[in-house]
Amino acid sequence: MDAPPPHALSHSPAAAARVSVDEHRAHIAALLDERLRVEHNDDAVDDVLLEDALGRLLAETVLSPLALPPFRNSQMDGFAVRAAEAVVGRPLPVMGTIAAAPGEVSALAPMTAARIMTGAPVPDGADAIVPVEHAIVTTTDAGETREVTGADADAVAVAVAVAVTVMVTDTVQPGAFVREAGSDLPAGGELLPARALLASRHLAALAAAGIDRVRVRRRIRIAIISTGSELAAPGTTLGPGQIFDANLPALAAAASSAGAEVVLRERVTDDAAMFLVALGAAAELADLIVTAGGISQGEFEVVREVLEPRGAWVGSVALQPGGPQATATFAGVPVLCFPGNPVSAQLSFELFLAPLLREDAGLPARVTESRVLTVDLESVPGRVQLVRARADGPNGITPVAGPGSHLVAAMAAADRIIVVPAETARLAAGSEVTAWVL
Amino acid sequence: MDAPPPHALSHSPAAAARVSVDEHRAHIAALLDERLRVEHNDDAVDDVLLEDALGRLLAETVLSPLALPPFRNSQMDGFAVRAAEAVVGRPLPVMGTIAAAPGEVSALAPMTAARIMTGAPVPDGADAIVPVEHAIVTTTDAGETREVTGADADAVAVAVAVAVTVMVTDTVQPGAFVREAGSDLPAGGELLPARALLASRHLAALAAAGIDRVRVRRRIRIAIISTGSELAAPGTTLGPGQIFDANLPALAAAASSAGAEVVLRERVTDDAAMFLVALGAAAELADLIVTAGGISQGEFEVVREVLEPRGAWVGSVALQPGGPQATATFAGVPVLCFPGNPVSAQLSFELFLAPLLREDAGLPARVTESRVLTVDLESVPGRVQLVRARADGPNGITPVAGPGSHLVAAMAAADRIIVVPAETARLAAGSEVTAWVL
């Protein structure tokens, strides 16, 4: 390892002392903080099209290149007037129609009105809009003149199109129903703050300001390497002694869910050369490498075999499942090595890595709850235990199946993880526990 | 419209009566329920690779094609023995090593032990695993015989590899540290229930069972058509009278966020022929068409112009912003027509459509909160008002900017939407309000 981790107690394959969960978490945070900075620093941005920006984290404050709205426009369908000229009892002749459409708009001649549609530019000279509902309109229909008032909404809608004169039913205030240019945001104003997690409403604001590309924080690029000679790819047929590899799809999906980008997925046997090739490719592509398997104290532990001579910390964390853990750097890229039992691998990811990834991606922190145990629960003293469980009624929680780290079906059936503190050996039914919501 | 909506009060462009938000919501739900059934029915499934299945809704219950674990295997690094033969004080000769690796495993000869790694197949004849920590191991190192006990973890790890004999330190129970085949799930057992929203732990279970493709509910396919001659594409230069189109990116992103698939995005002018072409393409591709703009009572309202003669319901909902609303079907495909003001379009989508889409996609319902108003709030009586706001301290909430439906920057700055009931005209500071969390 290029830099020794804070708790590098021992490089022996079976460090006698266990490090605590908190120590290991801090160690991983420090390793990532130091190492990710090389490539995934504050300058690591992607310039993406608006249509690819949903869910991304804005890299920098965005100022609006134009005023919003960009020009003075009408808030209503109605008539553009000069407020001072729009007097009760005095009809104004209606000269033309202003649509919400491209093109220059002529100034409003004195003592006239213009039909105007919602969003259309208010003509120079005009300073107020009279909504159709507040007007008495004179129309000529087949040569016959008639008046229509706002009370007859159907007739008014038709009448606007053929209005000959318009007369207000009440005094008009200057500025009435006019949206001033820049009334939402002046040109140069802050449209969006840095680190906005882009949702549809943010994309609307960017688009309204004419922006079609945006600089977002680059996702952390993760390579996943699943190790184990016994592993077969799902979709193939198992030979004797083989099991299907659950770790590659699970860790890749967990990384995506936590806002990272999975740039490499490799399954390798317990062959050191093959693992080294995968590590080399991973270090080329990724900001962070995650491995599964190969770190416990048996033989054929390829991750330990390859990385320990290169300075990895390989040890034991006071955690169940997920005790065996290792960390390293390879070609300057941090490597987090999780155990190969699929439940251990998944829970190690959730405990040690997911919170850091979520924070980097600007995603909300994991939701935790207080719930009441429905049954007694034994725990191994001295280790944090992560217990797969299900919510049971509005406040209860019940463990599913046993603690075995191979119980992938039971893990899938869980919707909560109870976190039992290291000092706790037993929790009676009725005890309050803290649980992650999956 | 092929089937009249429940509240088809009037086909006139300016229906005098407003329908309530609840009525319109029920109308849209009924329209979608009836019309989406044609294509997007219970048989509408996608067969996707596991790596594309994250976040999708499982279409059917999945039974495990094999037992989990598929064969009896060791839970620990240690020694496979017959429990009855593993007696304190009697060393057993260690005959070979069983790795977690492909290949047949020979049966355990009587009165012997075998080194075994975690996950490796337990040989026929053996019925228990003795972890290294529970054993006294005799090794011959350069011809010299020595004993190692579990207390010396470092030495044990090395010793396992070269063990000559192994002796237990305590009685061994049959089945100890053995994971029986099917102990997680028997072959044919329910691996995942229908409608599981696939997360990493579900993909792990599917992969462990050898499954690499899965049938998921097809996403609702949505076409978005943004209408308005005044609209320019973001990234271009505005001419006089033009504004940038915020609706296309906002509605497309909102649809994606709600779990739908956007299959078409079109921007059209207020030209009926152009709109018809877009509608035709949309009806070919989509389960549901969403339009923005062109439904109010002014002139140049292309959506109304085209769809009203084809039986659309065009009317007014007791809602602000978002009063003008329309619904139709086109070539059998439901069309929801939202107003063109960008805030109105976004809030219409959130109010009327997003909850239905989220439910179909199996996503959790929108989070709502109770919060306390920090300021007085006026509302138009008789209309539900959707007020853009921000959380203010742990319990407070403060509106941002005014009610104008063109205030896209203010909408982007909001993180909550206060829902003011129709009957409420004024809320004093200190009132408790219900708010959506954006």
Closest residue in chain A to residue B100, using alpha carbons only? A230
Give the helix/strand (H/E) hosting B408: helix B408-413
Domain check: are B281 and B350 in the same one? yes
Whether residue B33 is contained in a domain is answered as yes
Say what the pLDDT of residue B11 is.
30
Neighbours of A234 (CB within 10 A): 21
Answer yes or no: are the C-beta atoms of A310 and A13 closer than 8 Å: no
Say what the pLDDT of residue B147 is.
73
* pLDDT above 80: residue A109: yes
Say what the pLDDT of residue A297 is.
76
Up-side HSE of residue A80: CA atoms within 13 Å toward CB? 31
Say what the pLDDT of residue A154 is.
54
* pLDDT above 90: residue A250: yes
CATH number at residue A53: 3.90.105.10
| A9: confidence class by pLDDT, cuts 50, 70, 90 | very low
Say what the pLDDT of residue A14 is.
41
Domain check: are A94 and A227 in the same one? no
Mean pLDDT for all residues in chain A = 90
Say what the pLDDT of residue A94 is.
92
- Total residues found in chain A within this entry: 438
Domain check: are A226 and A335 in the same one? yes
| B156: confidence class by pLDDT, cuts 50, 70, 90 | low
Q: Average of pLDDT values for B108-120?
A: 94
Concatenating the DSSP letter of every residue in A66-112 gives S-BSSS-EESSSEEEE-GGG--TT--EEEEEEE-SSSS--PPPPTT-
Domain check: are B331 and B393 in the same one? no
Chain B contact set for A123 (CB, 8 A): none
Query: How does DSSP classify residue B379?
Result: -
Q: Average of pLDDT values for A192-201?
A: 97
Domain check: are B83 and B142 in the same one? yes
pLDDT tens digits, one per residue of A269-293? 999 999 999 999 999 999 999 999 9
Closest residue in chain B to residue A118, using alpha carbons only? B298
Say what the pLDDT of residue B416 is.
97
CB contact under 8 A, B184 and A406: yes
Residues 37-96 of A with CB under 8 A from B: 50-51, 54, 64, 66, 68-71, 73, 75, 77
* pLDDT above 80: residue B49: yes
**Partner residue opposite B102 with nearest CB, options A99, A239, A245:** A239
Say what the pLDDT of residue A404 is.
78
Domain check: are A222 and A351 in the same one? yes
Domain check: are A243 and A346 in the same one? yes
**Partner residue opposite B77 with nearest CB, options A183, A270, A297:** A297
Up-side HSE of residue B257: CA atoms within 13 Å toward CB? 27
Token reading at A51: 């249509």
B146 Cβ contact list (under 8 Å, min separation 6) = B138, B139
Whether residue A4 is contained in a domain is answered as no
Whether residue A150 is contained in a domain is answered as yes
CATH number at residue B275: 3.40.980.10
Token reading at B16: 């005098």
Domain check: are A243 and A137 in the same one? no
* pLDDT above 60: residue A200: yes
Say what the pLDDT of residue A143 is.
64
Whether residue B97 is contained in a domain is answered as yes
Domain-ending residue, one of B294, B328, B361: B361
Model pTM? 0.90
Whether residue B14 is contained in a domain is answered as no
Domain check: are B99 and B201 in the same one? no
Whether residue B4 is contained in a domain is answered as no
Instruction: Quote the minimal CA–CA distance from B437 to chain A in Å.
Output: 12
Which residues are A432's β-sheet partners?
A372
- 3-class secondary structure, B25: helix
Query: Is B118 an interface residue toward A (CB < 8 Å)?
Result: yes
By the 10 Å C-beta count (0-12 exposed, 13-18 middle, 19+ buried), A394 is classed as exposed
Say what the pLDDT of residue B2 is.
43
Whether residue B67 is contained in a domain is answered as no
Domain check: are A138 and A77 in the same one? yes
Domain check: are B301 and B433 in the same one? no
CATH number at residue A106: 2.170.190.11
Domain of B259 in residue numbering reads as 21-44+218-361
CB contact under 8 A, B205 and A409: yes
pLDDT tens digits, one per residue of B292-320? 999 987 778 999 999 999 999 999 999 99
Say what the pLDDT of residue A293 is.
96
Q: Which of A267-281, A297-311, B108-122 has the lowest mean pLDDT?
A: A297-311
Mean pLDDT for all residues in chain B = 90
| A300: confidence class by pLDDT, cuts 50, 70, 90 | confident
Residues 171-210 of B with CB under 8 A from A: 179, 183-185, 189, 191-192, 196, 199-210
* pLDDT above 90: residue A8: no
Q: Average of pLDDT values for A209-238?
A: 96
| A29: confidence class by pLDDT, cuts 50, 70, 90 | very high
| B36: confidence class by pLDDT, cuts 50, 70, 90 | confident
Domain check: are A293 and A338 in the same one? yes
* pLDDT above 70: residue A141: no
CATH number at residue B432: 2.40.340.10
Q: How many domains does chain B have?
A: 4
Q: Which of B32-46, B76-90, B203-217 has the lowest mean pLDDT?
A: B32-46
Whether residue A201 is contained in a domain is answered as yes
3-state secondary structure A228-259: CCCEECCCCCCCCCCEECCHHHHHHHHHHHCC
